[in-house]
Amino acid sequence: MDSSIVVTTFDTWTDAALGWIGDHGGALFDAISAVLEGFYGALLWLLDQPPDYAVALLVALLGWRLIGARFALLAGLALLFCAVMGLWSETISTLALVISATILALLVALPTGVVAGYLPRLDAAIGPALDLVQTLPPYIYLLPAIALLGYGPATALAATVIVAMPPAIRLTALGIRMTPPEYIELGQASGITPMQMFFKIRLPFAVPSIMAGINQSLMMAFGMVVIAGIVGSGGLGATIYDAIRKLDIAKSIDAAIAIVVLTMVLDRLTQSASQVRQEGNP
């Protein structure tokens, strides 16, 4: 009986707190929502301009430059297949959602990671927070987000940003922290300033780790974007959610294929981008 009181009290507090934030931060959340949707909308508009075959061609060319002819051919054909399945506009809006969420996540995660790399105490403090974010089921973020930001892409974006941040923070901090000590010593012995130490020594050595973090964040964003179909993300997530509700297995598999195509293409492209950087650093 006692224990149920504790739980009920806790739940009441949680609801009250969320309600209070919603009541008093309305303007703030409206603004956040507007910014998120504006950013997403602009990117979507941009990606939606070229016809499907042009996008496929562009990706193929990029893949040819970065990876090779075989990947270029496969990636181009796979993207065209998404269009053939009639899922092109959904694919593009999912792409826009993932990219905008990743960019927003990186805007916070990269500077945070750099600072955490320098300050072991901050790193130790945010470690548990990142653990929490990464271990909680992703669905958890949808409810408060929907309560504060409403149904629509802004909510999906906010939840995706939260999920996408931890890997980039962790791997950026790791990269900054893991500068080989002999190079730190070289810098000090050469009489360099702290700023030069960052840009000329720590950052170049951290690039592979940071690129790996960006790739991981992108993958987390992909995972979340499908789940966010429930809160009105639109795109392939919405298609899958819709198909599940109607038990339209064929449709859901079509959308899943489109997701897999998109994920693999972006994964390979960003991975190879980080490898190119590493080869440039022989």
Nearer to another protein, 9 or 196 (CB): 196
Measured from the CB atom, is 5 or 189 closer to another protein? 189
> Which residues, 6 or more positions from 112, have their beta carbon under 8 angstroms from its beta carbon?
126, 165, 169, 172
CB of 182 to another protein, least distance (A): 4
Residues that bind another protein (CB under 8 A): 180, 182-183, 185-193, 196, 200-201, 204, 280-282
d(CA 278, CA 255): 35
Minimum distance from CB of 208 to another protein (Å)?
Answer: 11
Shortest gap between Cβ of 210 and another protein (angstroms)? 14
Which residues, including other chains, have CB under 8 Å from residue 139's CB and lie 6 or more apart? 227, 230
Burial class (CB in 10 A: 0-12, 13-18, 19+), 184: middle
Query: Minimum CB separation from another protein for residue 205, in Å?
Result: 9
CA 42 to chain centre: 17
Mapped onto helix, strand or coil, the DSSP state of residue 37 is: helix
Closest CB to another protein among residues 128, 280: 280
CB of 134 to another protein, least distance (A): 32
Tell me whether residue 177 or residue 200 sits nearer to another protein (CB atom): 200
Our CB check for another protein shows the closer of 128 and 191 to be 191
What string of DSSP letters covers 177-229?
HT--HHHHHHHHHTT--HHHIIIIIIHHHHHHHHHHHHHHHHHHHHHHHHHGG
